[in-house]
């Protein structure tokens, strides 16, 4: 079965750039998306179709996807960006989530 691998945790200082990766076989051949989930809250779509931001998502969130890796980049990271981030794609009529990355802003 298809798998997506994310780092368990990423730390970043306020104002710096956070980079979260998501790896899977030939992931770049399909679209990836990203969800943000803050403690006690529901997942929110922040990036879809690799690079697109839904309405209301700040411009500091961006995405890319090439080869075997999709990347979520948060520029000028703020304390309120501290959350779990999950990547997602699909394979063989199955939706696949990455295991999630805890972003700590400190």
Partner 1 sequence: QLQLQESGPGLVKPSETLSLTCTVSGDSISRISSYWGWIRQSPGEGLEWIGSIYSGGSTYYTYYSPSLKTRVTISLDTAKNEFYLRLRSVTAADTAVYYCARHQWEPKVSHLDPWGQGTLVNVSS
Binding site for partner 1 (CB under 8 A): 1, 29-31, 33, 35, 42-45, 48-49, 54, 86, 88-90, 93-100
17 vs 90, beta carbon nearer partner 1: 90
CB of 13 to partner 1, least distance (A): 26
35 vs 105, beta carbon nearer partner 1: 35
CB of 49 to partner 1, least distance (A): 6
15 vs 38, beta carbon nearer partner 1: 38
Rounded Cα gap, residues 2 and 57, in angstroms: 29
Query: Which one, of 91, 5, 19, 86, lies nearest residue 46 by Cα?
Result: 86
Sheet holding 69-74, edge to edge: 18-23, 69-74, 61-66
């Amino acid at each position: 079965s298809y798998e997506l691998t994310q780092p368990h945790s990423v730390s970043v200082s306020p104002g710096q750039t956070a980079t979260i990766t998501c790896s899977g076989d030939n992931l770049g051949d399909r679209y990836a998306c990203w969800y943000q989930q803050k403690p006690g809250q529901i997942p929110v779509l922040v990036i879809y179709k690799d690079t697109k931001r839904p309405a209301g998502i700040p411009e500091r969130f961006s995405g890319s996807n090439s080869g075997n890796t999709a990347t979520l980049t948060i520029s000028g990271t703020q304390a309120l960006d501290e959350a779990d981030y999950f990547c997602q794609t699909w394979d063989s009529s199955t939706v696949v989530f990455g295991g999630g990355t805890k972003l700590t802003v400190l």
